[in-house]
Structure 1
């Protein structure tokens, strides 16, 4: 699939104001509607009022209000959810002034907030929305031991507040060669990485010596204490089996809410991952397979599904332009390597939404959820299929040009 020209007037309006302020009353018809909350519906309809889904069902038995704007497509799905990206913190033109996803001055910086870096006007946000992506889990990326926080946003909005779904989603950490210091700076080895993480967790765990005195604010410790209290999951990018096991040991020692990101060699540790009860945000299927991705497998997604391990696919980070991949394509590629169609669709809709903590709002077409829709003129995972329309919070933000 390639990006197509879309009518952008609605997108401009939706960017100027919060989407709910302009929510439309819509009826969306699909020859096939994948709700991700049950079986696909042949000749189905989705009814949206005031930005929320109010009805989903077969056209023959679902009441369709009069006067609502009506759209139709061959295939209708929930708006796609990208489970991990740096879009909005990195720019499409690959220039230094638009690369805010990684601060390298210190190896541990959990206090860095994604909201202070996200640019909703970045062209990449518009670009991925053209492929049906309506929700992003974005934030600080790989390259340091603890790089910062992540957040969840919609792919509309003039300001970060307009786009916001979840201000703090996870704390992003990294193990392995991608987070080793240069020029003799720590951490220089894997044992040092683990030791530094343990030290940061133990420091935050310790109570102030004098409880009758108000302690000075420590931004790093405040965030780390939220991780220890399971108010924030710790997402650790770990690709080699030895690094994944290092992350699992941290989870066991500190009883963390852990998400494994990347997980190129996860197929070697299916029992360990399942027994640990962690979720996985799997590396892009088409990632370049060198370095700690050298042993990545095209069939890992199918293996995780077979093992019953919760996982989602992601676009991840692309070092060169356009700085991101596309989750729609990643899921399609996984289908070509053993993952069933609807299982692949789950990895970029409801499963992704649940893993990043927003499954109560997005990821499936159910009454009460946000009116986020992607429309296609054929099988979403076929290369020649086009995205013919995108709806976010009940606003038609793009549609196929006539």
Structure 2
């Protein structure tokens, strides 16, 4: 039995080694590299988890020993720039809903990495539709709900999936604070509470840099990191007046910021552009009620045309199956002023830039992570199927 177990272990190890060191060639009738114009009759070579070479079929020969896959259209892996998948599960039960802690309105110390479930069915659902990277974590509903993280939609543990353990701090402004939280009664009260915490964090940051540092306070540590530019604020806000308040708060304290949702951002394009703040657009097909009642399917196209960096998100979906799909959200935006090529850029390289990962993700270039999606037609045609997904050089679909 010991000999058999040893042989099985060797076979498993050998199989994993073969997969992780896979040499793959992808032939596409149309290859979107996001580094120049699409390549017709293109080839993407993958070796040791990285893109080895990209070019036309008459210039890139496929070495012997490479496994070959073919597709009508090939793109880089798609990026969901804001989600709660992995914290919010598909069962919609208390035990798989960790995206919002309701015991307090301000909890910057909460870490997404401590709640992420890499085996959650929704992760596999997104992976099957070409989403290879997700910026996920604590979601909207509290003044500060916690920290976010970036993962690949692969692996069986958070360690295997992890790209970045602490990316942003999730804020919510306006009238979207959860009723389950003892919440401020008015907008002014909410902003005053945030301002007070940030002033405390300024003092904490000064003291921790001195020769007499304070006792560690996890919440203050997170906010001090924000003020020092080590992480960004992800501020979920929809109404134009609340967006302006967020911009004033950011200017006052000088922290890096990304606007999230921003349903009425098309009303104040000049102000957002002047602030130099990127926007993770609300899901294009979001339900239009409450603060988001004036959301528009044309917002992505208008902001992109104005030169404001944008990305797509699945956001927080309150109903089963608990997540939207950025591929479909981008398709609707493409048909409402953004255009297909621009929508693909926003789903890939533009999202990577906003998340600070453009050196690693978002395009098919030599040395970047081999995250690739294969389609049997136009990615934004609803009847098109994702025929293959490769993450870090490993075929996962």
Q: Secondary structure in 2 aligned to 1:120?
A: coil
**Unaligned 5+ residue runs, structure 1?**
1-12
RMSD: 1.9
Q: Secondary structure in 2 aligned to 1:179?
A: coil
**Take 2:19 and 2:378, find their aligned partners in 1: how far apart are those partners?**
32
Alignment of 1:364-375 (within 5 A): 364-375=363-374
**Unaligned 5+ residue runs, structure 2?**
1-11
**Take 2:107 and 2:284, find their aligned partners in 1: how far apart are those partners?**
29
Alignment of 1:2-401 (within 5 A): 22-179=20-177, 185-206=182-203, 207-208=206-207, 213-398=212-397
Contact 1:142-1:173 within 8 A present in 2 as well: yes
Question: Would you tell me which structure has more helix in proportion to its own residues?
Answer: 2
Quick one: structure 1 residues 345 and 21, their matched pair in 2 at CA, closer, same or farther if it must change by over 3 Å?
same
Contact 1:29-1:73 within 8 A present in 2 as well: yes
Greater relative CO (CA pairs within 8 A, separation 6+) = 1
Q: 4+ residue stretches of structure 1 with deviation over 2 A?
A: 180-183, 207-214
Normalized against structure 2, the TM-score is what?
A: 0.93
Q: Secondary structure in 2 aligned to 1:225?
A: helix
Deviation, structure 1 residue 64: 2.0
Q: Secondary structure in 2 aligned to 1:342?
A: helix
Deviation, structure 1 residue 208: 3.5
Q: Secondary structure in 1 aligned to 2:338?
A: coil
Contact 1:142-1:179 within 8 A present in 2 as well: yes
Aligned residue-pair number: 383
Which deviations, in whole Å up to 9, do the C-alpha atoms of 1:313-341 show, x marking residues without a partner?
A: 11111101010100000011111111111
| Residue of structure 2 in register with 1:10 after alignment | none
**Take 2:212 and 2:307, find their aligned partners in 1: how far apart are those partners?**
49
Which deviations, in whole Å up to 9, do the C-alpha atoms of 1:339-380 show, x marking residues without a partner?
A: 111110111111111111211111110001000000000000
Contact 1:20-1:393 within 8 A present in 2 as well: no
**Take 1:274 and 1:181, find their aligned partners in 2: how far apart are those partners?**
33
Which deviations, in whole Å up to 9, do the C-alpha atoms of 1:6-58 show, x marking residues without a partner?
A: xxxxxxx99x97x9972411000100000011100000010011000010111
**Take 1:265 and 1:302, find their aligned partners in 2: how far apart are those partners?**
13
Q: Secondary structure in 2 aligned to 1:234?
A: strand
**Take 1:78 and 1:210, find their aligned partners in 2: how far apart are those partners?**
42
Normalized against structure 1, the TM-score is what?
A: 0.92
**Take 2:18 and 2:160, find their aligned partners in 1: how far apart are those partners?**
9
Which deviations, in whole Å up to 9, do the C-alpha atoms of 1:281-308 show, x marking residues without a partner?
A: 0000000011111000110011001111
**Take 2:24 and 2:209, find their aligned partners in 1: how far apart are those partners?**
60
Contact 1:23-1:393 within 8 A present in 2 as well: no
**Take 1:43 and 1:396, find their aligned partners in 2: how far apart are those partners?**
21
